Amino acid sequence: MAEPIITINNIFFKYEGQENYALEDISLQVMEGEWLAIVGHNGSGKSTLAKLLNGLHFPEKGDVIVDGISLSEETVWDVRKRIGMVFQNPDNQFVGTTVQDDVAFGLENNGIPRELMVERVHDALEKVNMSGFLNQEPHHLSGGQKQRVAIAGIIALRPNVIILDEATSMLDPKGRLEVVNTIRELKDKTGLTVISITHDLEEAAKADRIIIMNGGKVYGEGSPSEIFEMDEELVKLGLDIPFSIKMSKSLKEVGYPLSTYYLTEEELVDALWTLHLNK
Amino acid sequence: MMEKMIFGRYVPADSIVHRLDPRSKLIFVFAFICIVFLANNFVTYAILTVFTFFLIFVSKIPLRFFINGLKPVLWLILFTLVLHLFFTRQGHLLFHFGFIKIYEEGVKQGIFISLRFMNLIFVTSLLTLTTSPISLTDGLETLLNPLKKIKFPVHELALMMSISLRFIPTLMDETDKIMKAQMARGVDFSSGPLKDRIKAIVPLLIPLFVSSFKRAEELATAMEARGYRGGEGRTKYRLLLWHLPDTTSLIVLIFITAILTILRS
């Protein structure tokens, strides 16, 4: 079994000047090489949790341990080298004037020598299929392309963990698919650990494990199929269920003998074919 | 909206001026601005103007870009020209009609001042037209580096410059969007008395400011998450290289300065 790369022990966090805890007594582990999805409605504390992981916020109580390092004011820069974050708005995280400057930004911050930097910038852009855009300016790129550059900027730093903080929520379906596929390929190639914070349950359905947040607490945890069994409960939490599950549910209601709810469209299509053949 | 903007516009082309190091171009333009004031007679002004046109020719950038750059200050040039024509009372009287008296010296001074303006604007436009904003910022940062000794925040200034440059088109787009959104809700930006038009700017300005604050915060978070800790211990991706043409350009400038000093009266 893989080792936990991030361990969170009983953390409490509240924003300055607010009564309620944004996060209350959260404990969880993220395994190495895992794709973890954190879902929840707006204000459930998902993004706050992400910011606690790389020291953009510090917990009031409890501790965060990343790759054996306990997160504190002194170790925060070491932790940030290990965790890369891609944020929601593609425009507001593009620091550089051109694509290659933006990818190099993180490397410059870490004092990487120039020759190595050039190599890594090209390599990272190659990995996200953006190598033809070296000197493009951000306002000439689409949202999905900008997010891919943001990902390149992160992977050039060679982190162990990549956090997608609603990284696809401002993209159109095509851009969203591009970004998710890019990440998946990278994960398969390099054994990256991915934490994806998302509203999009289709995206979450492809994760290894899902954590549901509600009101600053962990509400539930499990594999996608376990989570989507919860069905009505999810809807009550302000979440939605993926299309294929809704479809299998409706089909079951009208009498098709489907054995389970299917997480992806392919599985559902396969099941329907099998049913059709057996008829 | 971007198309109309001439300030800071970069025109890519392959010329010797484009390939010069931004540092040498910055020094060159700064020195040129100073030596323009050396010229004070026909010969020196002629040398300067010919030199400016020679630079434009070498840069392979169409003259219309430079003329466009001149447009915003055209009224200023005309104003000083007219002022000199009517109010300089030296030399021979050339023209006399009622209370209008035009003197020889007035015509001379008027033309000189206009030429001075033109030279200054052409050469500074040459800098922005042939240097991409990012290399301009880089050049400025390296040139200002000695100021670090007196605690001047050189890196911060350069970073601010490059971020501002990068966000100009983004904010332009946003302004356009907000403007259209407000127009859709009935705000009239283009007609009515001045007072109403100024008032109409408010629903454009406030959302723009608010969203800029939000942008700034998100950008700062993203920068921090990517390990930005200020100028200390950073390496640089962009490399500035000083070649022979850079040295040559400065030598030419020294040469011109010498000639101007000798020939000025």
Which of A84, A85, A104 lies closest to B237 in CB terms?
A: A104
Q: What distance in Å separates residue A161's CA from the closest CA in chain B? A: 13
Q: Is B218 on the interface with A (CB under 8 A)?
A: yes
Q: Which SS3 state, helix, strand or coil, does residue A208 take?
A: coil
pLDDT at position A120 is 93
Best of B138, B155, B237, B240 to mutate (most A CBs within 10 Å, chain A): B237
Q: What distance in Å separates residue B220's CA from the closest CA in chain A? A: 8
Which of A56, A87, A97 lies closest to B134 in CB terms?
A: A97
Domain ranges of chain B: 1-131+238-265, 157-234
Q: Which SS3 state, helix, strand or coil, does residue A175 take?
A: helix
pLDDT at position A150 is 92
Domains in chain A: ranges and CATH: 4-241 (3.40.50.300), 242-278 (no CATH)
Best of A57, A87, A95 to mutate (most B CBs within 10 Å, chain B): A95
ipTM of the complex: 0.85
Residues of chain A in contact with residue B222, where contact means CB-CB under 8 angstroms, are 85, 87, 92-93, 95
Please give the full DSSP string across B107-149, using - where no structure is assigned: HHHHHHHHHHHHHHHHHHHHHHHHS-HHHHHHHHHHHHGGGGG
Which of A100, A108, A154 lies closest to B235 in CB terms?
A: A108
Q: Cα–Cα distance between A75 and A238 in angstroms, integer?
A: 37
Which of A112, A118, A138 lies closest to B166 in CB terms?
A: A138
Q: Cα–Cα distance between B1 and A186 in angstroms, integer?
A: 39
Distance, first Cα to last Cα, chain B: 47
Asked if B237 and A101 come within 8 Å (Cβ–Cβ), the reply is yes
- DSSP element (H, E) containing A63: strand A61-66
A267 a catalytic residue: no
CB A210 within 8 A of CB A222: yes
pLDDT at position B1 is 46
Residues of chain B in contact with residue A96, where contact means CB-CB under 8 angstroms, are 162, 166
pLDDT at position A201 is 79
CA–CA distance from A111 to each of A107, A185, B220 (Å)? Answer: 6, 28, 19
**Two tokens at B246?**
């850079």
Q: What distance in Å separates residue B10's CA from the closest CA in chain A? A: 13
Q: What is the mean pLDDT of each run of 10 residues along chain B (265 residues)?
A: 55 79 92 90 92 91 85 88 82 74 84 91 88 84 90 89 86 91 88 85 93 93 89 84 89 91 86
Neighbouring C-beta atoms of residue B85, cutoff 10 Å: 19
pLDDT at position B5 is 55
Residues 6+ apart with CB under 8 A from B115: B45, B48, B49
Asked if B235 and A111 come within 8 Å (Cβ–Cβ), the reply is yes
Asked if B223 and A105 come within 8 Å (Cβ–Cβ), the reply is yes
Q: Which entry of A166, A178, A202, A203 is annotated as an active-site residue?
A: A166
- Angle A243-253/A265-278 helices, nearest 10 degrees? 30
Residues of chain B in contact with residue A58, where contact means CB-CB under 8 angstroms, are none
Q: Cα–Cα distance between A105 and B212 in angstroms, integer?
A: 21
Q: Which SS3 state, helix, strand or coil, does residue B234 take?
A: coil
Asked if A96 and B166 come within 8 Å (Cβ–Cβ), the reply is yes
Q: What is the mean pLDDT of each run of 10 residues along chain A (279 residues)?
A: 78 83 87 90 86 87 87 87 90 89 91 92 90 87 90 91 89 85 88 88 85 88 84 80 82 80 80 83
Which of A92, A97, A138 lies closest to B215 in CB terms?
A: A92
Neighbouring C-beta atoms of residue B41, cutoff 10 Å: 12
